[in-house]
Amino acid sequence: MEKLDISKRINELSDTIRYHNELYYRDAQPEISDFEYDQLLKELQRLETQYPEFAQTDSPTQRIGNDISNKFETVYHKYPMLSLGNTYSREELSDFYRRVQQGLEGQECEFVCELKYDGVSISLTYENGKLTRAVTRGDGTRGDDVTENVKTIKSIPLVLKGDDYPQNFEMRGEIFMTHKTFEKLNNIRQESGDNLFANPRNATAGSIKMQYSSEVAKRYLDCFLYYILGEELPYDNHFDNLKKAKSWGFKIPEDIIKCKNLDDVFDYINYWDTARKNLDYDIDGIVLKVNNYKQQEQLGYTAKTPRWAISYKFKAEQAVTELLSIDYQVGRTGAITPVANLQPVFLAGTTVKRASLHNAEQIALLDLRIGDKVFVEKGGEIIPKVVGIAVREHKNPPTKFIAHCPECGTELIKNEGEAKHFCPNDNGCPPQIKGKIIHFISRKAMNIESLGEESVELFFNKGLIHNAADLYQLKIEDILPLERFAQKSAENIINSIESSKTVPYPRVLYALGLRYVGETVAKILAKAFPNIDLLINASIEELTEVHEIGERIAESVKEYFSQADIIEFVNKLKEAGLQFKVDREEQKSDILKDMSIVISGVFVHHSRDEYKTIIELHGGKNSSSISKNTSFILAGDNMGPSKKEKAQKLGVELKSEEEFLKMLND
């Protein structure tokens, strides 16, 4: 690959992984499987290792996913909640084992094997035998205080048994939902007309962040505890401390075992790869840990993971069933996704009736035909996928991908270098229009809370709205005649729409739904072009001059605003009173004016994202890479040695968190 292509690929991977991090950790609505996510992350790690000069200082490889929301108080972890490195390969697990042996320089080492639960991580603080705080993983440094919600989980003790526990300590574990509870919950939601949860993990993540603990209690969540932290623990090793914690009332898994060698580890993996199918909850692998605490400290940590532990993930489960037919779905961007309708088959705890076929290339690659007996795979995926043909007992013709949109009849297009077919009728195709409106009202966009997908569907079908701008013309009397709407609910919708007029320009720009323009890109564009007219009239050259805006994004922006109906749409939103320029009153000072600042490391007082905002509010510019133009580096703990070396080589100053905050205060 050319160096320019490598840099571009690293940036693309970084943006894609950040997007999926938000979906997984914050929204509990992942779009891809764990395996697919891990492959993206591994590719990024490989490229950054080979070409460190292109690595971003805030690369996803250096960060933990973030589940922090704005509904709860955010608190700092006393001990960081790191992620585990993971592998799907027994060879890589053997490599980990050898690295540990080398790191301990021949010391005898004992390992602990545990199941890897597919739920939501939680950290519980106990003081004098009482639960005082429960905090989500968050970004690893700080998380959401969900204590009141966690108190509704019966398997988590509020008061400990006995009197031999430490005065202050933390217990960590995984909150989960059983298959039986998940099935009951979805049955209730189906009867109520609510959207179904995709899997137990999503249901758990959504439940633990509910606003009212009384509603959380109705979800019957469960919790396994598997890690204890503190200053005065009874034993010097992980295994014995967990066994002791069981006597204090904690639900410690019975499946934890000690292993003397790698053969014992593989025996454990082989057993649970089969036995997991009999469990009433989801596991997606095993966790291997060094047992002795002193040896853990000797092996140490990377910025993101401990060197003394690793997770081994099971390969996805498969089943064989018949391909009955293929539907074609149209997404918000016009992308066409083929979906297989299957003879129902039980797989990984749920009955599967539909599976993704991804795109025309995948169908052709597998040579899928109606009537085939196919392999269906599910390894944490939201929609299972067809991965191959098991048996063909017919002479049906090859599948021919559709040439026209199934919704509006427009001829499909396929851009060079892309796998998906698209319907180009973005302003006349009903699913695209409705998808754009749903995106427009979403929490991270205009945040019109009282208006949901079902209401958008109803308003569109009744002809009340034809695009998002029409929302601002709605009146209470338009809504009241519709079924299910009373005076109060109609008022709430109108009030929410009115409140959205105060949403700042970067989020309005994101809400428009330009292709390739996510939250981060919208902020960058809004800063570079502080009002919408400047952005509309910007040339490709002006757009690509903006840091982190490549040709693909520039062309998408230019093409979007070249359409007359889009300009008319934006003008209607302007007339409605939406914010289409940067509010300069937000600027705190210009103390960092003309400064290019790189953020690196882990911080105590604010997260890295918060520091990025602080830098912008004081007139500075955030940069992702160190160069001779870098004004200084805001350096936290665990800053990478290669970055320090580069800074020293270029003579770039390092400012500590305290020095930086003092600089702003002065």
User: Would you name the residues annotated as active-site residues?
Assistant: 116
Task: Give helix 519-528 / helix 3-21 axis angle, nearest 10°.
Answer: 120
Tell me if residue 444 falls in helix, strand or coil.
coil
For every residue of 555-586, which 3-state class applies, written as one string?
A: HHHHHHHCCHHHHHHHHHHHHHCCCCECCHHH
DSSP letter assigned to residue 215: H
Separation CA 312–CA 115 (nearest Å)? 10
Tell me if residue 114 falls in helix, strand or coil.
strand
| Alpha-carbon distances, residue 340 vs 181, 337, 346 (angstroms) | 28, 10, 16
| Alpha-carbon distances, residue 86 vs 34, 95, 310 (angstroms) | 11, 12, 6
Burial 103-140 (b: 16+ CB within 10 A, else e): bbeeeebbbbbbbbbbbbbbbbbbeebebebbbbbbbb
Q: Is 246 left (phi over 0), alpha (psi -120 to 50) or beta?
A: alpha
Please enumerate in sequence order all residues whose Cβ is within 8 A of that of 459, keeping only pairs 6 or more positions apart, or say none: 465, 474, 479
Separation CA 163–CA 657 (nearest Å)? 41
Which long-range contacts does 447-456 make (Cβ < 8 Å, 24+ apart)? 447/500, 447/503, 447/507, 448/493, 448/496, 448/497, 448/499, 448/500, 449/496, 450/489, 450/492, 450/493, 450/495, 450/496, 451/493, 451/496, 451/497, 453/195, 454/193, 455/493
Amino acid at 604: V
Cβ-based neighbour number of residue 1 at 10 Å: 11
Residues in the chain, overall count:
666
Q: Using CA of residue 46, residue 49, residue 51, residue 55, what is the dihedral sign?
A: positive
Q: Are 658 and 603 in contact (CB under 8 A)?
A: no
Separation CA 211–CA 188 (nearest Å)? 19
Q: What is the side-by-side order of every strand in the sheet holding 309-313?
A: 86-87, 309-313, 283-290, 111-117, 257-259
Task: Give helix 90-103 / helix 262-275 axis angle, nearest 10°.
Answer: 150
Q: Are 351 and 362 in contact (CB under 8 A)?
A: no
CA neighbor of 135 nearest in space, from 125, 145, 127: 145
Q: Are 639 and 601 in contact (CB under 8 A)?
A: yes
Q: Are 345 and 324 in contact (CB under 8 A)?
A: no
Residue written as tokens 């006597």?
247
Tokens found for residue 340: 């297989």
Separation CA 193–CA 629 (nearest Å)? 56
Task: Give helix 3-21 / helix 34-50 axis angle, nearest 10°.
Answer: 140
CA neighbor of 45 nearest in space, from 270, 274, 305, 263: 305
Q: Are 559 and 611 in contact (CB under 8 A)?
A: no
Residue written as tokens 């098991």?
390
